[in-house]
């Protein structure tokens, strides 16, 4: 201890030392949970209402129709969900920009019809070439829609409505070519098998385990890197819970799909549609979350003028997003056509609009900038569940349509209310 020598008085208002510590996120689990609870009370409910809704719907359907939770029906539901989900993914690209694309359903139809056409006589192209042609056509259509919206500054609602109508006509023309009489049956077993065939059970087991383990390792490694670098992280318990949730989903998938669900013969395994849409989910989520392009899409959807002033090219980024929406719609069309064993002009008109509905019900904001691909997965599963369950109970398409309409309205209402609550708090 030494007595300080008298000196000139210290300046009173010296700029304070940078206080780094005060910025570091408090990462204890209880704080995290408390904050999450606060967020939920404040209106940032996330996917919670959706999960609750899904739970209720599943219980109701199971009580009304005991077959609902049978392996056979669940596998069937997954197939139906696959193209709704993929169309939802397509919609997310444009919704994030604050735009909308009503035409993804018929754009999907075009991809499917072209694929069917190209794989049949007289073209007889290999199955993957046929797929690529379909996807390319859909991507170009998406790009065209984007070009009209961007270059002519037209509302995407109107442009895509015009494409909705026109593409339907084009679809009818394609399936009437060469005297197909309104439908082109798939002849390639590969193309039919995309959705209708299943992974061998051991292969399915390996794929699911590899995916779950791989994703878990990546998640934990990322978490550790963030900790090491001093970045804000969620509590480890939350990371662990996510990993467990993923493992549970994988186990459920295997439990449902790898059991024999055949009535007359053995039918088992996961439909190829599942790895396809999961692959798209991973790829698109990666683009959105990890690349500059993805960041730009969110920025444009949040505040286009701010993004522009930050040097973000509005035109190119939006054009790419519209193109990717088209491409993704095409992938949905490939699955839909495969599931039906061929292409026809009479796609369920409701199905065409489920794309928008699934993304929005899943929690993607209609006003742009908020939402993830994952939300379309949940929304698509939800819609497919209703779609499937209502028919199973014995109601008809009319009831189905009414219920999904009501659910959509409820979904956007919840979003609107939570926005108001957020604005107030």
First vs last Cα of the chain: how many Å apart? Answer: 51
CB of 316 to another protein, least distance (A): 12
CB of 62 to another protein, least distance (A): 38
Binding string, 267-296, against another protein, x = CB under 8 A?
A: -----------------------xxx--x-
CB of 298 to another protein, least distance (A): 6
Contact 149, 98 (CB under 8 A): no
In the complex with another protein, which residue's Cβ is closer, 22 or 179?
22
Three-state DSSP class for 301?
helix
In the complex with another protein, which residue's Cβ is closer, 310 or 409?
310
CB of 296 to another protein, least distance (A): 8
| Binding flag, residue 308, another protein (CB under 8 A) | yes
CA distances from 318 to 108, 234, 294, 341, 424 (A): 20, 32, 11, 34, 32
CA proximity to 196, closest of 96, 12, 334: 334
Which token pair is 44?
């940032």
- Please identify which residue in 221, 310, 406, 416 interacts with another protein, judged by CB under 8 A: 310
CB of 309 to another protein, least distance (A): 5
What's the CA dihedral at 15, 16, 18, 24 to 10 degrees?
-140
Contact 58, 385 (CB under 8 A): yes
| Binding flag, residue 225, another protein (CB under 8 A) | yes
Instruction: Please compute Rg for the chain using Cα positions.
Output: 25
| Binding flag, residue 311, another protein (CB under 8 A) | yes
| Binding flag, residue 226, another protein (CB under 8 A) | yes
In the complex with another protein, which residue's Cβ is closer, 6 or 424?
424
- Please identify which residue in 36, 302, 374, 401 interacts with another protein, judged by CB under 8 A: 302
Three-state DSSP class for 160?
helix
CB of 288 to another protein, least distance (A): 11
CB of 400 to another protein, least distance (A): 34
Which token pair is 89?
């993914």
Q: How many residues does the chain have?
A: 425
Binding string, 89-128, against another protein, x = CB under 8 A?
A: ----------------------------------------
How crowded is the C-beta side of 238, counted as CA atoms within 13 Å?
12
CA proximity to 180, closest of 104, 106, 119: 119
- Please identify which residue in 37, 306, 402, 409 interacts with another protein, judged by CB under 8 A: 306
Name which of residues 187 to 216 contact another protein (CB under 8 A). none
| Binding flag, residue 232, another protein (CB under 8 A) | yes
In the complex with another protein, which residue's Cβ is closer, 6 or 18?
18
- Please identify which residue in 370, 373, 415, 418 interacts with another protein, judged by CB under 8 A: 370
Phi, psi of 169 (to 5 degrees): -60, -45
In the complex with another protein, which residue's Cβ is closer, 244 or 306?
306
CB of 314 to another protein, least distance (A): 11
CA distances from 413 to 41, 44, 308 (A): 16, 14, 31
Name which of residues 13 to 42 contact another protein (CB under 8 A). 13, 15-16, 18-20, 22-23, 25
**Helices and strands in the chain, H and E counts:** 16, 2
DSSP conformation class of 183: E
Nearest-5° Cα angle at 341, 109 to 79: 80
Name which of residues 330 to 369 contact another protein (CB under 8 A). 368-369
Size of the site for another protein (CB under 8 A): 36
Nearest-5° Cα angle at 139, 137 to 144: 95
Nearest-5° Cα angle at 89, 368 to 345: 115
Site residues for another protein per CB under 8 A:
13, 15-16, 18-20, 22-23, 25, 225-226, 229-232, 290-292, 295, 298-299, 301-303, 305-312, 368-370, 422
């Amino acid at each position: 201890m030494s007595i300080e020598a008298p000196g000139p008085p210290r300046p009173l208002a010296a700029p304070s030392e940078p206080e780094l510590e005060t910025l570091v996120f408090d990462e204890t689990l209880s704080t995290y949970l408390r904050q999450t609870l606060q967020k939920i009370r404040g209106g940032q409910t996330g996917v919670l209402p959706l999960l609750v809704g899904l739970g209720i719907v599943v219980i109701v359907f199971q009580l009304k129709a005991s077959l609902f939770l049978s392996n056979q029906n669940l596998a069937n539901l997954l197939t139906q969900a696959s193209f709704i989900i993929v169309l939802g993914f397509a919609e997310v690209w444009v919704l994030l920009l604050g735009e909308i694309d009503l035409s993804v359903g018929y754009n999907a139809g075009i991809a499917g019809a072209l694929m069917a056409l190209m794989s049949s006589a007289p073209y007889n192209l290999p199955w993957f070439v046929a797929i690529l042609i379909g996807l390319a056509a859909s991507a170009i259509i998406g790009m065209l829609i984007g070009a009209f919206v961007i270059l002519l500054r037209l509302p995407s609602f109107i442009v895509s409505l015009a494409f909705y109508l026109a593409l339907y006509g084009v679809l009818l023309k394609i399936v009437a070519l060469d005297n197909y009489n309104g439908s082109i049956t798939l002849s390639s077993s590969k193309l039919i098998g995309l959705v209708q065939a299943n992974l061998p059970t051991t292969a399915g087991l390996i794929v699911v385990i590899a995916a779950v383990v791989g994703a878990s390792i990546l998640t934990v490694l990322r978490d550790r890197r963030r900790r090491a670098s001093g970045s804000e992280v969620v509590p480890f318990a939350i990371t662990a819970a996510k990993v467990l949730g993923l493992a549970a989903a994988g186990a459920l998938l295997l439990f449902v799909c790898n059991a024999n669900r055949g009535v007359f013969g053995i039918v088992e395994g996961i439909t190829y549609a599942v790895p396809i849409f999961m692959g798209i989910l991973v790829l698109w989520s990666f683009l959105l979350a990890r690349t500059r392009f993805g960041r730009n899409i969110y920025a444009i959807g949040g505040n286009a003028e701010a993004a522009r002033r930050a040097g973000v090219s509005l035109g190119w980024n939006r054009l790419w997003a519209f193109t990717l929406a088209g491409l993704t719609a095409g992938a949905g069309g490939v699955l839909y056509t495969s599931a039906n064993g061929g292409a026809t002009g009479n796609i369920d008109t409701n199905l065409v609009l489920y794309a928008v509905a699934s993304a929005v019900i899943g929690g993607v904001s209609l006003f742009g900038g908020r939402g993830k691909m994952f939300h379309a997965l949940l929304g698509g599963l939800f819609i497919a569940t209703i779609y499937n369950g209502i028919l199973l109970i014995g109601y008809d398409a009319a009831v189905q349509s009414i219920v999904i309409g009501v659910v959509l309205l409820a979904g956007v209402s919840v979003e609107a209310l939570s926005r108001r609550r957020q604005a107030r708090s």
